[in-house]
Structure 1
Amino acid sequence: MRSVCVINPNSSVSMTENLQVLLLPMAKECHLELAFFTAPEPAPKEIDGLETSRLSTEVCLPVLLPLLDAYDGFLVGCYSDHPLIYELQRRTDKPVLGIFQASLIAGVGMLEKAQKMVILTSNNEWERILDDSLDSVFQVDPQLVGHRNVILPTKALGINVLSLSDPHVYGQIKAKVRDLLTATEATCILLGCAGMSGLDLKLKQEPEFAGVHFVDSVRAGIQLLAR
């Protein structure tokens, strides 16, 4: 059985625990053995931009290097074009995938002709960062080349990353999804944060969102690494 290390590049243990709850049940059906890594301090509790991404890479990389021989693949659980992905890829021939890239690949695979998709992220700061990353990602990944026109500008919830799993904010998330579908032509929403993992299951059950595709980026990454 192949093994995959799921990397949480921030030091929030609760986020890793949420990922374990979500992913361990699907590990057997994907024929994978999953291990989970949480960035040690002084990695940031929350990655909210380029500076915290850089810091998390500096902290994680030396700890992860001795683990490269222990697993068959690696999933970096930060929804961004995170530098840790490329640092690991430079040091191993094993598959290293980020959940940002995984969600884009999964989303493109769900679209029919002329349909559009959109990223729903957490903080407003991520709108520009993710949009700035899209051009390079769509040019580099062979599964995405030629599909840049299917994605609309990123939209933010305006909710702190660590609050996304709070049941009290689900109403805000649902309202934002409703507004997004009304204002755009999107038929597929990419849930653009590891902290949103599992929300796709709840949103799909809402009658008002019938026919809309929701992509859980973390589960998409596991499914791609299981191929």
Structure 2
Amino acid sequence: MRIRVVNPNTTAAMTALIGASARAVAGPGVHVEAVTSAMGPASIESHYDEALSVPGLLAAVAEGETRGIDAYVVACFGDPGLDAARELARGPVVGIAEAAMHAAALLGRGFSVVTTLDRTIGRAWDLAARYTAPGACRGVHACEIAVLDLEADPHLADRVAARAGRALERDGSDVIVLGCAGMAGLCAAVSERLGGVPVIDGVSAATLAAQSLVTLGLRTSERSEFARPRPKQYTGGLEAFQMETLPPESANRPVSRGSRAM
């Protein structure tokens, strides 16, 4: 089984962190490849950044389709381009916010999200409303740390844990969701500081969700909305994104069932 974890920003150091988190949970025979977007912003912290990250994400998915990738993880907490990637990929595509919030809903009566900048709070609330039942997300809280500053902060785990502790007390929640792919790898340290409260990293959760869907032989439904888009002309800088219809044998390629070594 081959899972491609796509970092929709262009910062390779973050891709390395994301890849390590994904590989740490992958099962036997599962090959995880983490790739950095070839175009887009260095970090994704606004609606503008998010919009401009989507072409690079889709290019990474399209290239993966030529290499027989079985599933994809969109490794940005805003889940940019997730629906578009599902129209393009033959196997399942999982967003890290989506996977983290679903996992959190299984572990307690409510969860709180701890993210980077205050300006990203609204997007996290939008996704919580889409992914979980009303009231499942009890709060979204920012540490006011820019994404590109996360790796260099020697006190990051302490800062995140302190904000998470205040969130648990204020929200009455039972679980913490880390609201940035750049926080991957902090789960154990933050959970320990919180006395064992479950802390979820979306990269790990999404990798295991993608792995499970492939193992079950499941893929995104093409019955209606997520069917492959009709081919049409794209102009200007988007000419490279013009799609041709898949050959029948390619469009109907089954998702692999069970693990297989690369």
TM-score by length of 1: 0.86
1:176 maps to which of 157, 163, 167 = 163
Instruction: State the alpha-carbon separation in 2 of the partners of residues 178 and 49 from structure 1.
Output: 26
Higher helix share: 1
**TM-score, normalising length: structure 2:** 0.75
- The answer to whether 1:91 aligns with 2:77 is no
CA–CA distance in 1 between the matches of 2:184 and 2:43?
A: 16
Map of 2:181 onto structure 1: 194
Q: Is the 8 A contact 1:49 1:129 kept in 2?
A: no
**SS at 1:61's partner residue?**
helix
Q: Read off the aligned partner of 1:151 and give its amino acid letter.
A: C
Please tell me whether the aligned partners of residues 72 and 93 of structure 2 are also in contact (alpha carbons under 8 angstroms).
yes
Q: Distance in 2 between matches of 1:20 and 1:91?
A: 22
1:154 is matched with which residue: 140, 144, 169?
140
SS in 2 for 1:153: strand
1:224 aligned residue:
209
Q: Give structure 1 stretches of 5+ with no counterpart.
A: 139-143
| Aligned residues of 1:122 and 1:157 also touching (Cα < 8 A) | yes
SS in 2 for 1:110: coil
Distance 1:109 1:126, change over 3 A: same
Classify 1:48/1:179 alpha carbon distance in 2 versus 1 (closer, same or farther; 3 Å): same
Select between 53-62 and 5-14 the one with higher mean Cα deviation: 53-62
The structure-2 alpha-carbon separation of the partners of 1:25 and 1:60, relative to structure 1 and needing over 3 Å to count, comes to closer
Alpha-carbon separation, structure 1, partners of 2:71 and 2:196: 33
Give SS of 1:37's match: strand
State the number of aligned residues: 210
* Contact 1:8-1:16 at 8 Å conserved across structures: yes
Runs of 4+ in 1 over 3 A off after TM superposition: none
Q: CA deviation at 1:176?
A: 1.2
After superposition, residues 69-80 of structure 1 pair within 5 angstroms as 69=66, 70-80=68-78
| TM alignment of 1:204-219, pairs within 5 A | 204-206=191-193, 209-219=194-204
Q: Which runs of 5+ in 2 are unaligned?
A: 213-262
Does residue 91 of structure 2 align to residue 105 of structure 1? no
Task: Give the match for residue 141 of structure 1.
Answer: none
Give the partner amino acid of 2:15: T
Task: State how far apart, in whole Å, the 1-side matches of 2:199 and 2:25 are.
Answer: 18
Offset, 1:215: 0.6
SS at match of 1:44: coil
1:40 alignment partner in structure 2: 38
Q: Deviations over 1:87-127 (max 9, x none)?
A: 1111233100100100011111112xxx2111111110111
| Conserved? CA contact 2:139–2:171, under 8 Å | no
Query: 1:1-54 CA deviation, whole Å, 9 max, x = no partner?
Result: x11000000000000111223232333x3541111110124x100000211111
| Change beyond 3 A, Cα 1:30–1:118 | farther
Post-superposition Cα deviations, 1:117-145, rounded to whole Å, max 9, x if no partner, equal 1111111011112213332x23xxxxx4x
Q: Identity of aligned pairs, percent?
A: 23
Q: 1:63 to 1:103 in 2, by over 3 A?
A: closer
Amino acid at match of 2:96: I
Distance 1:200 1:101, change over 3 A: same
Which among 63, 66, 72 is matched to residue 66 of structure 1? 63
Q: Is the Cα–Cα contact under 8 Å of residues 46 and 161 in structure 1 kept in the other structure?
A: yes
**Letter in structure 1 aligned against 2:170:** A
- Cα RMSD (Å): 1.7
